[in-house]
Amino acid sequence: MAEQHDAAPPAEPLPPTLAAIADLDDIDQRIIAAMRRNGRIANRELARDVGVNEATVRTRLRRLEDSKTVRVVAMRDLEAMGYGCLAAVGVQVKGHSAADVGRRLAELPEVITVNVVIGEHDLEVQLVATDLAHLEALLTDKLAHVPGVDRLIPGLALKILKYNTEWAPL
């Protein structure tokens, strides 16, 4: 008797944002690429660069934004703001939860990212400082005195080889 195989269940539909990403065509990709080069580009100029009319650009941008595939934001230029040092700091926590300590560290204006991690330390913190003296003060006078911080393992970025916020390649 032949084996009977049940049909595989139908695939789950993609969440709306993943479906939208999967549906990016060449025009969408060219619009996104042009906006990465110049986020302030006018729709008229964008249409000319991409080779479509302005109404098409408006419609596609609205669809990309509504689907949360694209978000247009301003980014700070840390060097232009006077921050010459970028440091990654591992933090070992004792007597408090890593999340609680992380929330306290996140309140410091020089702290730009805080991640709860597993491994040698409990938190990874990225911070900026104007110079080495400022970095030393941040580490010894601020971070070290946050309740729950047991040990700091700092690493100073000597040269930034890549700083790319475009995590989703085209």
Any domain includes 46: yes
Any domain includes 166: no
pLDDT at 70 over 90: no
Q: How many CB atoms lie within 10 A of CB 62?
A: 10
Any domain includes 165: no
Any domain includes 61: yes
Pairwise CA distance, residues 144 & 120, whole Å: 17
Any domain includes 8: no
- CATH number at 138 reads 3.30.70.920
Q: How many domains does the chain have?
A: 2
**pLDDT (tens digit per residue) in 118-161:** 999 999 999 999 999 999 999 999 999 999 999 999 998 888 78
pLDDT at 54 over 50: yes
* Selection from 25, 66, 149 nearest residue 138 by Cα: 149
Higher-pLDDT residue of 8 and 68 is 68
Pairwise CA distance, residues 156 & 81, whole Å: 18
Residues 47 and 101 in one domain: no
Residues 152 and 92 in one domain: yes
Structure tokens at 32: 């996104």
pLDDT at 15 over 70: no
Residues 49 and 92 in one domain: no
Any domain includes 137: yes
Domain boundary residue among 66, 98, 127? 66
- Range of 56's domain? 16-66
- CATH number at 50 reads 1.10.10
- In the prediction, which pLDDT does 28 show? 92
Residues 60 and 96 in one domain: no
